[in-house]
Amino acid sequence: MIKNYFLLTSLLLFGFHSFSQESLLDLLVEEERTEYTTASFKTTRIINTQSIENLASGVLDLKISHRFGRVNRGINDFFGLDQATIRLGLDYGITDRLMVGIGRSTVQKAVDGFAKYKMLRQSSGKVDMPISLSWYSNVLVVTQDFPNPERDNEFKHRLFFTHQLLAARKFNSGTSIMLMPTLIHRNLVESTQVDNDVLALGLGGRQKITNRVALTFEYFYVLPNQIDDIYKNSLSLGFDIETGGHVFQLHFTNSLGMMDKQYITETTGDWGAGDIHFGFNISRVFTLKEPKRKPNE
Amino acid sequence: MKYLLTALLTGITALAFAQSKFFTRNGTVTFFSSAPLEDITAKNYSTIAVLDTETGNIEFSALMKSFEFKKALMQEHFNENYVESDKFPKAVFVGSVRNLSMVDFNKDGAYDTEVSGEMTIHGISQRLTAAGQIIKRGERISLQSKFILKPEDYEIKIPDLVRDKIAQEIEVTVKAELEELKR
């Protein structure tokens, strides 16, 4: 009996004692929350391809992208820097999940417009979602002269469509990998020997080196027997450098065109032969519309 | 005898817990950086605060990712490049009210206080003393304080390139409305 009292007393006292040593914050049961993964990539593009990132609602992004000539042109062409092709683009975030953009490329004098919608967001905690998933669609209008003027050409023959699923996972704070099953529909092709529809699978990723610098890569594998043998798979390697409101992306790629149908189905450069283009993308964002709940209220 | 003792002990224990702890999950922490090129404000609306009116102990906890900025990119850079939220998700303050005897929690009123303790941000702990106010109004206790933090004290590196955009001294404002913690 006595023993029991002793036990009870010491238990209660011990309980009280340990309680008074505890941190006050431990008194509150932590509410389980969903933590959404952010910043899987530095910007909305990996190199040529879209990344899983979206612009926040109300943010305008001016993108200036350059690709130079092939480095194997040698010193006479200053390793390709004498020739520059560009794409000027404007992207805008309509909501945090939906962004749209337009652009104009030197290559094929092409005008493009796209929309990208984030369907799933990678998260942990209350809602556990292993990947982020986005849908991307693009229409490209080639405005340069038709290659075969004798043919009965109509406006629709200038149109090219791309549809893409972007499935990305940020494995840790530095490493993100993305898979991109892609369908490209071409209203006009070079010959009846090739398909109008082209399926390709892309793989992209980034590895942070420091907080502000990251290595990036992307590769597109075009499934066999769809396009002419002269075309190569697109491979690009680069790095992202971020300084305040700018992101600089410097890279080497065997593709000259910067739009999906151009680099996925029309890349002629061969890495092995030195047909490599140096290029860069510059991104400058402008916050046109601030979040509704203003932090400085 | 046995029941009496049990009841007594339980009673004492319960008494020690009762009515001395106040808390909130919706405290606000604002920081303001004023630099030649840019003023930056960020606000956290979900700061946890707990006050023990008996001991004067006080603790705050704020998730770094819950700080909201006007510019989305700034918020990303704050988390990615400066405070490294993935590695150090929270800012925590553990301290006590130094002049507790000046505060009468049984009487409505505003009491000037000084709180000192340890602030942990970015994995670095520093002593911090801040002046503030405890306002008792009915069932509620409000806390207010304003103090200065230096990013370099917490090993938050600011590159020279953005020196003119981010102040070396950040003004932090804390506001919390606490209610009784019922157990």
Q: Which residue has the higher pLDDT, A266 or B3?
A: A266
**Least confident span in A16-30, A92-106, A147-161, A165-179:** A16-30
The answer to whether residue B162 neighbours chain A at the CB level (below 8 Å) is yes
At A65 the pLDDT is: 96
Domain annotation covers residue B58? yes
Percent of chain A with pLDDT over 90: 67
Task: With CB atoms and an 8 Å threshold, state whether A38 touches B87.
Answer: no
Q: pLDDT tier at A17 (50, 70, 90 boundaries)? A: very low
At A263 the pLDDT is: 95
At B174 the pLDDT is: 96
Domain annotation covers residue A74? yes
At B7 the pLDDT is: 58
Question: Residue B15 above 90 pLDDT?
Answer: no
Residue-number span of the structural domain to which A173 is assigned: 35-269+276-287
Question: Residue A296 above 50 pLDDT?
Answer: no
Domain annotation covers residue A80? yes
Does ipTM exceed 0.90? no
Task: With CB atoms and an 8 Å threshold, state whether B70 touches A290.
Answer: yes
Question: Residue A148 above 90 pLDDT?
Answer: no
Whichever domain contains A62, its CATH number is: 2.40.160.40
User: How many domains are contained in chain B?
Assistant: 1
At A18 the pLDDT is: 45
Q: How far is CA A122 from CA A128, A174, A185, in A?
A: 8, 15, 30
What are the beta bridge partners of residue B135? B110, B142
Instruction: List CB contacts (< 8 A) between B161 and chain A.
Output: 243-244
At A81 the pLDDT is: 85
Task: With CB atoms and an 8 Å threshold, state whether A8 touches B30.
Answer: no
Question: Residue A292 above 80 pLDDT?
Answer: no
Question: Residue A53 above 80 pLDDT?
Answer: yes
Question: Residue B30 above 70 pLDDT?
Answer: yes
The DSSP letter of residue B25 is E
pLDDT digits (tens, 9 = 90+) for B131-144: 999 999 998 999 99
Tokens of A20: 């008074």
What are the beta bridge partners of residue B94? B59, B118
The answer to whether residue A125 neighbours chain B at the CB level (below 8 Å) is no
Instruction: List CB contacts (< 8 A) between B81 and chain A.
Output: 211-212, 242
Contact between residue A84 and residue A68 where contact means Cβ atoms under 8 Å apart: yes
Chain A nearest-CA distance from B154, in A, is 17
pLDDT digits (tens, 9 = 90+) for B62-99: 999 999 999 888 899 999 889 999 899 999 999 999 99
Tokens of A23: 């941190």
Domain annotation covers residue B139? yes
Question: Residue B167 above 70 pLDDT?
Answer: yes
Task: With CB atoms and an 8 Å threshold, state whether B6 touches A294.
Answer: no
Instruction: List CB contacts (< 8 A) between B72 and chain A.
Output: 55-56, 59, 287, 291
Among A9, A25, A208, most B C-beta atoms within 10 A, so best to mutate, is A25
User: How many domains are contained in chain A?
Assistant: 1
CA A20/CA A146 separation, integer angstroms: 82
Domain annotation covers residue B47? yes
Contact between residue B11 and residue B18 where contact means Cβ atoms under 8 Å apart: no
Section B106-126 average pLDDT: 94
Domain annotation covers residue A4? no
Question: Residue A295 above 70 pLDDT?
Answer: no
Domain annotation covers residue B2? no
Domain annotation covers residue A29? no
Q: pLDDT tier at A83 (50, 70, 90 boundaries)? A: confident
CA A240/CA B123 separation, integer angstroms: 27
Q: How far is CA B183 from CA A59, B7, B14, B21, B180, in A?
A: 46, 18, 10, 10, 9
Contact between residue B114 and residue B143 where contact means Cβ atoms under 8 Å apart: no
Residue-number span of the structural domain to which B119 is assigned: 20-180
Among B6, B52, B65, B71, most A C-beta atoms within 10 A, so best to mutate, is B71
In chain A, alpha helices (H) = 2-21, 260-265
Question: Residue B18 above 60 pLDDT?
Answer: no
The answer to whether residue B140 neighbours chain A at the CB level (below 8 Å) is no
Which amino acid is located at B11 in the chain? G
Instruction: List CB contacts (< 8 A) between B17 and chain A.
Output: 19
pTM of the model: 0.82
pLDDT digits (tens, 9 = 90+) for A21-47: 468 888 887 778 888 998 999 999 999
Whichever domain contains B126, its CATH number is: 2.40.128.110
Q: What is the largest CA-CA distance in chain B?
A: 75
At A26 the pLDDT is: 85
CA A96/CA A118 separation, integer angstroms: 8
Closest Cα in chain B to A2:
B2
The answer to whether residue B175 neighbours chain A at the CB level (below 8 Å) is no
Mean pLDDT for chain A overall: 89
Which candidate from B58, B73, B159 shows the least CB-CB separation from A285? B73
Neighbour-count burial for A180-192, b at 16+ CB within 10 Å, e otherwise: bebebebebbeee
